[in-house]
Amino acid sequence: VICHPKYQGSKRIAIFLSMPDEIQTEEIIKDIFKQGKECFIPRYKPHSNQMDMLKLSSAEDISSLTLTPWNILQPHDDDNAREEALAGGGLDLIFMPGLGFDKKGNRLGRGKGYYDTYLERCMKRPSGKPYTIALAFREQICESVPVAENDVQVDEVLYEDC
């Protein structure tokens, strides 16, 4: 991941804080800060399909985050001091999680459409849609995954031996 040209050329990167059954992102987050890039993480809004990408100040900042009912660390709902990526300079790259992927860039998420809705918001901004890379285990690559008309394809899926 850290040798990928899109990662190397990006300054503002959004990345998920991994759950136990996902590709672990901690070392990527540390490298984002080591390379002097800006790091943004999701804050999911309960009872909706809306999320924002909020800026982390450091890899250690993760320890100040709140655990949601879904067992995901994120900034607290009333944490308004953090920069929201779209209110600032947008994003260059988004690393995305998922349950399953196909080689056409279709992604099966967890069903709420958070990333699809967020990417739609990005597309309405002057900076446009950031490059998207899904991080997957080889076992998550399928012949095809079900898609709906509002699903946004990822630009690339990275997995072992790809």
Q: Which residues are annotated as a binding site?
A: 17, 22, 107-115
Residues 53-82 pLDDT 10s: 999 999 999 999 999 888 889 998 888 899
CATH topology of domain 5-159: Rossmann fold (3.40.50)
Q: Which residues are annotated as a binding site for ATP?
A: 107-115
109, 147 in Cβ contact below 8 A?
no
- Which ranges of the chain would DSSP assign to H, the alpha helix? 5-8, 26-34, 114-123
pLDDT at residue 49, as a whole number: 86
Are β-strands 93-96 and 12-14 bridged in parallel, bridged antiparallel, or unpaired? parallel
Residues 89-146 pLDDT 10s: 899 999 999 999 998 999 998 878 899 999 999 999 888 899 999 999 999 999 999 9
136, 101 in Cβ contact below 8 A?
yes
Q: Which residues are annotated as a binding site for substrate?
A: 17, 22
Distance CA 40, CA 15 (A): 6
Distance CA 108, CA 130 (A): 19
